[in-house]
Amino acid sequence: MAVAARLDRLPGGRGAIHRALALWIFDKHGTLQAVQHALKYRSRPRYGVPLGHLVGEAYAEAHPPPEGVVPVPLHTTRRLERGYNQSRTLGRGVAHALEVPLRSDLLARPRPTRSQTNLSRSARWQNVRDAFSASDDAADGHWLLVDDILTTGSTCVAAAQTLHDAGAEAVSLATLALARQ
């Protein structure tokens, strides 16, 4: 319920996400933050697949499988800086757990964006609005969008809207964690 309520508060958020799941609540300075930061910032992509598998198993307990898993993409510059996309490594684990394909080809991030970390709610939305593009192959599918952490939900809603604009039938969301607000 907390995930859906957070998404509904965003411009265009109501109805953008069909179903939503966050595996854990993110506590600053806690164990989950250490693991998530290691995955995202400390070059530990090997953490992503097993964590994603846990997310996928939790999603499968409550929801039917989607047609495929779509990781939130990084702009090429950010991916090259990190060496990988943490959402893609999570997505591999989610897709494996759900026994559906990983569809990294459906969503791209052609426009670079600033880090969302220190931005306000409205600045986060402005930062990611129109940052994504989608393949025509997204049409008519029910896709599970995967990201590492949901703070305001701006990134996920912008990505989901892009998939809907490309003709996606439904977009659901699974994240490793939901940040407290």
Q: What is the pLDDT of residues 166-175, one digit of tens each?
A: 999 999 999 9
- Dihedral sign, Cα of residue 131, residue 135, residue 140, residue 146: negative
CA atoms within 13 A on the CB side of 109: 24
pLDDT attached to residue 107: 95
Token pair, residue 4, equals 């859906």
Number of domains, the chain: 1
Q: Does position 178 have pLDDT exceeding 70, yes or no?
A: yes
pLDDT in tens, 63-78: 999 999 999 998 888 8
Q: Which residue has the higher pLDDT, 108 or 27?
A: 108
| Contact predicate 66/56, CB 8 Å | no
**Helix-helix angle 154-165:121-128, to 10 degrees:** 30
Query: What range does the domain containing 48 cover?
Result: 2-179
pLDDT in tens, 117-133: 655 555 665 556 778 88
pLDDT attached to residue 110: 78
pLDDT in tens, 5-55: 788 787 777 788 999 999 988 878 888 777 877 877 787 888 889 999 999
- Dihedral sign, Cα of residue 38, residue 149, residue 144, residue 103: negative
Kindly state the average pLDDT of the residues 79-99: 92
| Contact predicate 17/172, CB 8 Å | yes
User: What mean pLDDT value characterizes the chain?
Assistant: 86
**0.85 exceeded by pTM:** yes
Q: Does position 101 have pLDDT exceeding 80, yes or no?
A: yes
- Residues 43 and 89: their CA atoms lie apart, in Å, by 12
Burial of 181 (0-12, 13-18, 19+ CB in 10 A): exposed
- CATH number for the domain that contains residue 72: 3.40.50
